[in-house]
Structure 1
Amino acid sequence: MQYKKPFNKKWWFCVIVIFITFFTNFVSGNTGMQDAQQTVIAKSTKVVKSNAKKVVTEKVTVKRRRATRKRKSVAKRKQKKRKGVTKRNIRKVYIAPNSGRRYHFNPSCRGLRRAHGNITKISLKKAINQGYTLCKWED
């Protein structure tokens, strides 16, 4: 007659598993495992601290970069405003004083066809002060 219980149901298999578990956990004293866990914990705290320092330094550098970008963009805007003011004083436009209320940057603009050669060149600032507006064709 054969014994038909599966292998893990035999009593001696359970005894061996219990013996191995007991031997590995209690006889060795867990000192090696505890040391390993403590070193892992110590290393992880060092990593966390170093990562925290990196994050703080990265935040500081990002803030500095943003501040310098902001300063540069403000300086560029101011410079553009200055250029715009000087361009208005210097830039010349073309008007047809007898036949229109528009100014044109290009003397051959199709909005100047009605002028029939009666075209005057003045500064942009003067044209705006006299009430001229930009030509529709040059928008």
Structure 2
Amino acid sequence: MQYKRPFYKKMCFCFAIIFISFFTSFISGNTGMQDSQQTVIAKSTKVVKSNAKKVVTEKVTVKSRKATRKRKLTAKRKQKKRKGVVKRNIRKVYIAPNSGRRYHFNPSCRGLRRAHGNITKISLKKAINQGYTLCKWED
């Protein structure tokens, strides 16, 4: 006795084979439509990548500009500090050697009134080494 399959089972099997073969060819990329889509996608990703590179390079240049500005500002500050130290060592102050232990930047400071004209001009460093301190009126 021969076993015969019903017609609908044969048809389902044929449709399944056709369905599988169609999708395998579609997934493998053998269709012309898919190739054109892939080229469009590839071109758009290149454009996006190039734009991304531009954005990244712009960010890097902005960061490098900020870094150079910071370095320049810190260098200027250090230079001003050095000049300030040099000025402090060279700067002249006024003292009253007979009547006080304070130094003054201004020769007409009211702390020098008791000196009665006995005012001496010396360097700031020397005044500090001799034990003089800054006048309270000039703080």
User: Where on the TM-score scale, by shorter chain, does this alignment land: which range?
Assistant: 0.5 to 0.7
> How far apart are the structure 2 equivalents of 1:67 and 1:126?
41
Name 2:69's counterpart in structure 1: 69
Q: Take 2:107 and 2:117, find their aligned partners in 1: how far apart are those partners?
A: 10
Structure 2 residue aligned with 1:12: none
Distance 2:77 2:118 in 1: 38
How far residue 70 of structure 1 moved from its aligned partner, in angstroms, is 2.2
Deviation, 1:82, is: 2.3
Number of residue pairs the alignment of both structures matches: 102
Q: Which runs of 4+ in 1 moved over 6 A?
A: none
TM score, norm. by length of structure 1: 0.59
Percent identity of the aligned residues?
92
Normalised by the length of structure 2, the TM-score is 0.59
Give the structure 2 partner of residue 98 of structure 1.
98
Distance 1:96 1:52, change over 3 A: same
Where do residues 36-75 of structure 1 align in structure 2 (5 Å cutoff)? Answer: 48-49=48-49, 51-75=51-75
Paired position in structure 1 for 2:130: 130
User: Unpaired runs of 5+ in structure 2?
Assistant: 1-39
Structure 2 residue 109 is the aligned partner of structure 1 residue 109: yes
Cα separation, 1, equivalents of 2:71 and 2:79 = 12
Match of 1:79 in 2: 79
Residue 55 of structure 2: SS of its match in structure 1? helix
Cα displacement string for residues 74-127 of structure 1 (whole angstroms, at most 9, x for unaligned residues): 321231232123212321100112222221111001111111111110001111
1:47, CA displacement in angstroms?
6.9
Counterpart Cα distance in 2 of 1:129 and 1:51? 65
Do the aligned partners of residues 48 and 137 (structure 1) sit closer, same or farther apart at CA in structure 2, a change above 3 Å counting?
farther
